[in-house]
């Protein structure tokens, strides 16, 4: 029962261009959404989050968009840099529930 889905296993973009990573969810009770970034041989690290009362959250080069009616969120990275090359996980949770659900991840490669 994969409640959070990342349908693109990989994405390759040129340095300086925009990277768009997508995530879909099925549980309409989710009210908190997060993106994590993971480098090889390291644990995931928090990148950015958004509450269900918002539709956009921005932090420097990273912006997360939430479309509740479509149960879809996306992460935009502008401009993309080679150091952004990593696996990105989308995650979602319900307030008060400790079971945060993760997508399968998207491997982003930014080419110089």
Partner 1 sequence: DAGITQSPRHKVTETGTPVTLRCHQTENHRYMYWYRQDPGHGLRLIHYSYGVKDTDKGEVSDGYSVSRSKTEDFLLTLESATSSQTSVYFCAIQGRSNEKLFFGSGTQLSVL
Query: Residues interacting with partner 1, by CB under 8 A?
Result: 2, 4, 6, 32, 34, 36, 41-46, 49, 89, 91, 93, 95-105
CB 108 within 8 A of CB 11: yes
Residue closer to partner 1 (CB basis): 40 or 112: 40
Q: How do beta strands 4-5 and 86-93 pair?
A: unpaired
CB 74 within 8 A of CB 90: no
Provide, rounded to whole angstroms, the least separation between the CB of residue 96 and partner 1: 6
Report the alpha-carbon distance of residue 34 to residue 49 in Å, rounded: 4
Residue closer to partner 1 (CB basis): 49 or 79: 49
Residue closer to partner 1 (CB basis): 13 or 91: 91
Q: In this structure, how many other beta carbons lie within 10 angstroms of the beta carbon of residue 43?
A: 7
Provide, rounded to whole angstroms, the least separation between the CB of residue 1 and partner 1: 8
């Amino acid at each position: 029962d994969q409640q959070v889905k990342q349908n693109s296993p990989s994405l390759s973009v040129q340095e300086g261009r925009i990277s768009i990573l997508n995530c879909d969810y099925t549980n309409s009770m989710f009210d908190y959404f997060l993106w994590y970034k993971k480098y090889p041989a390291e644990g995931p690290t928090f990148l950015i989050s958004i509450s269900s009362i918002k539709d956009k959250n921005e932090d420097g080069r990273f912006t997360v968009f939430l479309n509740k009616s479509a149960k879809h969120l996306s992460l935009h990275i502008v401009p993309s840099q080679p150091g952004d090359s990593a696996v990105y996980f989308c995650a979602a949770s319900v307030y008060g529930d400790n079971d945060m659900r993760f997508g399968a991840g998207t491997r982003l490669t930014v080419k110089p």
